[in-house]
Structure 1
Amino acid sequence: MNRRVVIDTDPGLDDAVAILFALNSGRFDVLGITTVAGNIGLERTTRNAGGLLAQLSLSDIPVISGSSEAMLRTNIDALVIHGSDGLRGVTFPEPLTPPRTGAVAWLAETLVNAPSGSIDILALGPLTNIGRLINEYPEAAARIGRVICMGGTIHEPGNAGPGSEFNFASDPEATAIVLHAAIKCVVIPLDVTRKVRASAAYVEALRVTQAGTVAADLLLAYMQDGKQSRPLHDPCVMLLALAPELFDIEMRRLAVDLSDGADAGALLERSTGQPVSIAMRVDADGALDLLASGFR
């Protein structure tokens, strides 16, 4: 039986590839897509999510817009990577249905109406929606099967500050809430995602199906130097959900930097920190093979 999931996201080029994989692979039962401001503003991330569904002619999966602002901080964005539209000019059809509003309440209702532990959240962006869910609907949040989230870094340099990663830096308070909550959570940091990159030949080889062609267009826009893509951060979330054996997962005691400094949101290894499951190594070739299989 396919695992039932909600995708919480801020698409975003690599987010879009991850979502396409989940929708096209036939290995997930996607109950809904909740959106959050992150790479770009909430209106655009929500529109992009709806466009992805329209690209595959899917009208039965709801898009529910969520948090437009971080819990306590001014939003940051990643326009320099993803462009003002989030997709660097890759176009999608108009959404087939208008988005709903109130992602946090929708998540709570969805979790309460399902068997406890039966729904996973695949978190591709800042953790604001999930942090708010834990604060506002703790009994519903306790019913999450697990959260698999892309964020943070341990040994790698940051991409938001010297030691901080974009998703966690976008809402440090929400990150701390999620990592300290009594729910199962697996973190996939830059230490892993920077090992997974698509070559130009790999990208072109995806053009065997409609979804593969769209993924190739997105990855082409996401190329770093014409030879390989930027790190495939968010697809790693879907890949770990399907094949955890491709990843080495360790338990580390971690705290979150909640200062106002350049490394706000950074993960700090502390003897008094919260035990967190974190992926530290990946079989990159195996991950790329699995990703490609979702577009055949």
Structure 2
Amino acid sequence: MRKFIIDTDTASDDVIAIITALREPSIEVLALTVVAGNVGLEQSIQNALTAIKVADTYQPAVYGGMSKPLFRNLFTAADVHGEDGLGNMFLPKSNIPIESEHAMDALIRLIEEHPYEIELITLGPLTNIAMAALKAPETMNKLKSITLMAGTGLGPGNTTETAEFNVYVDAEALSIVLGLDVPKLFVGWDVIEKRAFITEDDLAYLENSDSPIAKFAVRCTKSLHDFCKGLGLNGFELADPTAMICAIWPEVMTNCIEAHATVETKKEENYGQIFLDQESATPNSTTCIDLDGELLKTYLFNTLLMKENK
């Protein structure tokens, strides 16, 4: 069985991604490590616990991590996901316990316990991962792989013209993670925007189903839906579930490129921009630049409708 650790700044799309992993029988989620990003750390922890409850499978350990970026003030996305990150549902506080160990230390310990077995899936800013890499670089190099919902791929950003949200929150953290000698897969905003758009018809299909998980997915993304309506869109992109599905079912990816990735951390005008050099440097990452959107939705909807993916 494959072993995952999911690092998350848990808002609505993170929750759907976590549910997808927890409901996949071939995956064992060893832990959720939580970081501030979409919302503050405490709310992000509560939303991670909500994901576990809604998935209704098993309870991986949950570890709280970094409450702010390495060098900058925290930049959140409450305007996109709601004040609580879940469409302003304001759910009661969960009674699922969290671990006292810091996420950074939990990452290091679990990787040492399972060397070269753990696939790390990052759904938020890379602050927890960078801190672990600074503290124990040799251990972090024992990861099997890292799949990152981060960057813009070959397109523009969603937070600035050049930067995607997770990278913009803490580009210095990504710069540190890029130094790890571990296979890294970027699933960026360009392919998400192009292939992972959830339409009004999709939402009606889920809402009219008999699945409480599907109905929850529609409800928790209400603020995201409303935000995108304000931009003139009839639906919204689901970023984190796309990265998760690429990690679980790589056959959805139809085109990837290898490149040496670097990130801008000095110039404010393009802070967080990722540069992909395919010619003059040794590749340190793979970037998905296209995928099968229909297959992606099939996997996602089967999960939310509690059907078996084959």
TM-score tier, shorter chain, comes to over 0.9
8 Å contact from structure 1 (residues 34, 103) kept in 2? yes
Equivalent residue for 1:87? Answer: 86
The correspondence for 2:289, drawn from 254, 258, 280, is 280
Residue 212 (structure 1) aligned to one of 214, 234, 238 = 214
Q: Return the alpha-carbon distance in structure 2 between the equivalents of residues 89 and 59 of structure 1.
A: 26
User: 1:7, CA displacement in angstroms?
Assistant: 0.9
Deviation at 1:182, TM superposition (A): 0.5
Distance 1:184 1:232, change over 3 A: same
CA-CA distance at 1:232 after TM superposition:
0.9
2:7 counterpart residue number:
8
For residues 243 and 228 of structure 1, what CA distance do their matches in structure 2 show? 27
- Where 1:234 maps in the other structure, the secondary structure is helix
Deviations 1:248-284 (CA, angstroms, capped at 9, x unpaired): 2210222110114132111023434753211111111
Measure, in 1, the Cα distance between the counterparts of 2:19 and 2:224. 15
Indicate conservation of the 8 Å contact 1:54/1:93, yes or no.
Answer: no
Once the two structures are superposed, the pairs formed by residues 7-86 of structure 1 within 5 Å of their partners are 7-57=6-56, 60-86=59-85
Deviation track 1:109-145 (CA, whole Å, cap 9, x = no partner) reads 111112x221111100001111111111122212211
Preserved contact between residue 17 and residue 218 of structure 1 (Cα < 8 Å): no
**Where in structure 2 are the equivalents of 1:86-105 lying within 5 Å?**
86-101=85-100, 102-105=102-105
- Separation in 2, partners of 1:214, 1:73: 34
Any conservation in 2 of the 1:37–1:67 contact (CA below 8 Å)?
Answer: yes
SS of structure 1 residue aligned to 2:145: strand
> Any gaps of 5 or more consecutive residues in structure 1?
none
**Partner of residue 234, structure 1:** 240
Identity of aligned residues (%): 28
Q: How does 1:119-268 map to 2 (within 5 A)?
A: 119-195=118-194, 196-206=196-206, 207-223=209-225, 224-225=228-229, 228-247=234-253, 248-268=255-275
State the Cα distance separating 1:58 from its structure 2 match: 5.7
Equivalent-residue separation in structure 1 for 2:3 and 2:276 (angstroms): 32
For the Cα contact (< 8 Å) 1:9–1:124, is it kept in 2? yes
SS at match of 1:96: coil
Q: How far off is 1:286 after superposition?
A: 1.2
CA distance in 2 between counterparts of 1:113 and 1:155 reads: 37
Corresponding letter in the other structure for 1:9: T
- Provide the rounded CA distance (Å) in 2 between the counterparts of 1:183 and 1:135: 15
Give yes or no for contact 1:179–1:274 (8 Å, CA) kept in 2.
no
Question: C-alpha root-mean-square deviation of aligned residues, in Å?
Answer: 2.0
Mapped to 1, the partners of 2:260 and 2:55 lie a distance apart of 41
16-25 vs 119-128, greater mean Cα deviation: 16-25
TM-score by length of 1: 0.92
Q: Aligned partners of 1:26 and 1:204: how far apart in 2?
A: 27
Residue range with higher mean Cα deviation, 203-212 or 244-253:
203-212
TM-score for the superposition, normalised by structure 2: 0.88
* 1:69 positional shift: 1.2
Aligned length: 294
The SS at the match of 1:194 is: helix
Q: Does the CA contact (< 8 Å) of 1:255 and 1:274 recur in 2?
A: no
How far has the Cα of 1:187 moved from its partner? Answer: 0.6
Aligned to 2:236, the other structure's residue is in SS state coil
Give 5+ residue unaligned stretches, structure 2: none
Q: Secondary structure at the match of 2:269?
A: coil
